[in-house]
């Protein structure tokens, strides 16, 4: 099952974002970043909302330099409003409570000297979410089949 993620970040964190994108795509995950989709003349807010809508989830990269970008908070809010899972990666030393839309959402701590740990935790989180989604789909199909079977029995009686 292919997975597409919207990567919310500050351009000051481009080296971290590039590594995150490279590893994600190597694992078969499609990653959307603004830098890869520059379209002069397009309405930026509409373009970003469409990209979030198409995604299966949003990864918010919040570093000490990246926290100053208010658009990250807005993109998180948009993803939540659209029912998308939010996977936040927050650098050590940043207080997650400062982010209104992250209240109550588990997040991954990022130690820039041990970035590998955060990337592994992100991969585990995405895999767990995909497994949960598949389980929910199977249960819905079973429920539908049970209803159809009951209707067939009722119409034959």
Domain boundaries, the chain: 3-156
Above 90 in pLDDT, residue 51? yes
CA-to-CA separations, 63 to 42, 101, 137, in angstroms, rounded: 28, 16, 35
For the cut 80, the answer to whether the pLDDT of residue 127 exceeds it is no
Residue for token digits 């995950």? 29
Entry pTM: 0.75
Question: Per residue in 47-63, is it b (16+ CB within 10 Å) or e — as a string?
Answer: ebbebbeebbbbbbbbb
Q: At a CB cut-off of 8 Å and minimum separation 6, what does 115 contact? A: 16, 19
User: Which pLDDT does position 39 carry in this prediction?
Assistant: 83
Q: CA 34 from chain center: how many Å? A: 15
Domain range 3-156, CATH architecture: 3-Layer(aba) Sandwich (3.40)
Mean pLDDT value across residues 133-145: 58
Residue tagged 């400062």 (tokens): 98
- The radius of gyration of the chain's CA atoms, rounded to the nearest angstrom, is 19
Give the residue, 107 or 58, on which the prediction is more confident: 58
Give the rounded percent of residues in the chain with a pLDDT score beyond 70: 80
- The pLDDT tens digits for 59-72 are 988 888 877 778 88
């Amino acid at each position: 099952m292919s997975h597409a993620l919207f990567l919310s970040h500050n351009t000051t964190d481009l080296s971290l974002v590039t590594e995150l994108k490279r590893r994600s795509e190597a694992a078969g995950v499609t990653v959307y970043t603004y830098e890869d989709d520059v379209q002069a003349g397009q309405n930026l807010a509409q373009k970003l909302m469409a990209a979030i809508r198409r995604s299966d989830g949003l990864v918010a990269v919040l570093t000490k330099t990246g926290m100053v970008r208010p658009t990250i908070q807005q993109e998180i809010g948009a993803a939540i409003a659209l029912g998308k899972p939010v996977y936040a990666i927050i650098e050590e030393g940043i207080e997650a409570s400062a982010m209104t839309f992250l209240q109550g959402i588990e997040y991954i701590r990022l130690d820039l000297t041990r970035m590998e740990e955060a990337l592994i935790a992100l991969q585990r989180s995405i895999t767990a979410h995909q497994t949960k989604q598949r389980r929910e789909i199977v249960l819905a199909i079973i429920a539908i089949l049970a209803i159809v079977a009951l209707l067939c029995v009722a119409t034959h009686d």
